[in-house]
């Protein structure tokens, strides 16, 4: 007997900090690999230097230097010893460079690590509108609310990784709940969709869970293993 249940819609496939399983995270190399593996786009982290450059870096420090207190040029110098391809070290990428290079061909999930740079983030999106879509996300409700106040039309999301925080997911305005995979259930997915929002899930690195999350109806899956993600769920043709 043929099943009458519709096939689940394929979620967006996003690399976590690019294809970090295969290249240094948060680099142009990792971003290009995520796309070449068949992902729709990638997630990446943004911070500000002391001289207000919006750099792509996850941690608050870079080789023991606090990014918020260091100038961009000095941080780039610290990266000169970073191992990578024979073409030489990549300078620390900046948001405007990533937007200019990928806005036409990738879904961009910008994770904002600190408050105080929301206006510059919004301006970067306006200067290079991502053709395939975007999400501005943060763990900090303050950042999400600030973005919404700057422009209610921005697509913003709240990242949550603790169950005690998840209970408040309805309490303020945003379009996308970005939930750690340990928090996701069919009931949560249904509730988020019934509230008119979307749900992204991170970080999913096993085929079985990728398939499960797809069956439950999540809107995007974020993974370190972009090759596995695309091969499991059928990545984009490029």
Flag whether 100 is in a domain.
yes
On the question of pLDDT at 86 being above 50, the answer is no
Average pLDDT score over the chain? 92
For 176, the domain range is 12-232
Flag whether 227 is in a domain.
yes
So what's the pLDDT on residue 82? 52
**Residue range 84-90: mean pLDDT, rounded:** 47
Which tens digits make up the pLDDT trace of 166-206? 999 999 999 999 999 999 999 999 999 999 999 999 999 99
Flag whether 177 is in a domain.
yes
Confidence of residue 89 (pLDDT cuts 50, 70, 90): very low
What is the rounded distance in angstroms from the CA atom of residue 167 to the CA atom of residue 164?
Answer: 6
What is the rounded distance in angstroms from the CA atom of residue 26 to the CA atom of residue 28?
Answer: 7
Flag whether 221 is in a domain.
yes
Flag whether 99 is in a domain.
yes
What is the rounded distance in angstroms from the CA atom of residue 41 to the CA atom of residue 101?
Answer: 12
Three-state SS sequence of 51-119: CCCEEECCCCEECCEEHHHCCHHHHHHHHHHCCCCCCCCCCCCEHHHHHHHHCCCCEEEEEECCCCCHH
On the question of pLDDT at 83 being above 90, the answer is no
Which tens digits make up the pLDDT trace of 97-147? 999 999 999 999 999 999 999 999 999 999 999 999 999 999 999 999 999
So what's the pLDDT on residue 79? 82
Flag whether 20 is in a domain.
yes
On the question of pLDDT at 237 being above 70, the answer is no
- Count: domains in the chain: 1
Q: CA end-to-end span of the chain, whole Å? A: 36
On the question of pLDDT at 8 being above 70, the answer is no
The CATH number of residue 134's host domain is 3.20.20.190
What is the rounded distance in angstroms from the CA atom of residue 199 to the CA atom of residue 129?
Answer: 22
Let me know how many helices (H) and strands (E) the chain has, helices first: 9, 11
So what's the pLDDT on residue 78? 85
So what's the pLDDT on residue 37? 97
So what's the pLDDT on residue 77? 87
Nearest to 11 by CA among 238, 207, 173, 229: 229
Flag whether 238 is in a domain.
no
What is the rounded distance in angstroms from the CA atom of residue 12 to the CA atom of residue 210?
Answer: 11
Flag whether 46 is in a domain.
yes
Please name the residue that has the structure tokens 């929002």.
Answer: 197
Measured over all CA atoms, what is the biggest interatomic distance in the chain, rounded to whole angstroms?
A: 66
């Amino acid at each position: 007997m043929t099943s009458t249940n519709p096939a689940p819609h394929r979620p967006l496939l996003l690399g976590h900090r690019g294809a970090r399983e295969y290249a240094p995270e948060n680099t142009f190399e990792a971003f290009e690999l995520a796309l070449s593996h068949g992902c729709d786009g990638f997630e990446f982290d943004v911070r500000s230097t002391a001289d207000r450059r919006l750099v792509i870096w996850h941690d608050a420090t870079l080789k023991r230097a606090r990014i918020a207190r260091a100038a961009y040029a000095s941080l780039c110098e610290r990266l000169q010893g970073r191992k990578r391809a024979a073409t030489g070290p990549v300078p620390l990428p900046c948001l405007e460079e990533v937007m200019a290079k990928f806005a036409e061909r990738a879904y961009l999930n910008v994770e904002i690590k600190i408050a105080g740079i929301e206006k510059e983030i919004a301006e970067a999106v306006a200067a290079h509108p991502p053709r395939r879509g975007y999400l501005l996300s943060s763990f900090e409700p303050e950042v999400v609310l600030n973005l919404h106040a700057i422009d209610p039309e921005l697509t913003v999301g709240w990242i949550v990784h603790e169950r005690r925080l998840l209970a408040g997911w309805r309490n303020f305005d945003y379009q996308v709940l970005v939930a750690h995979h340990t928090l996701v259930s069919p009931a949560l997915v249904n509730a988020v969709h019934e509230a008119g929002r979307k749900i992204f899930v991170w970080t999913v690195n096993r085929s079985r869970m990728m398939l499960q999350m797809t069956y439950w109806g999540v809107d995007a899956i974020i993974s370190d293993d972009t090759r596995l993600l695309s091969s499991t769920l059928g990545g984009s043709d490029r």
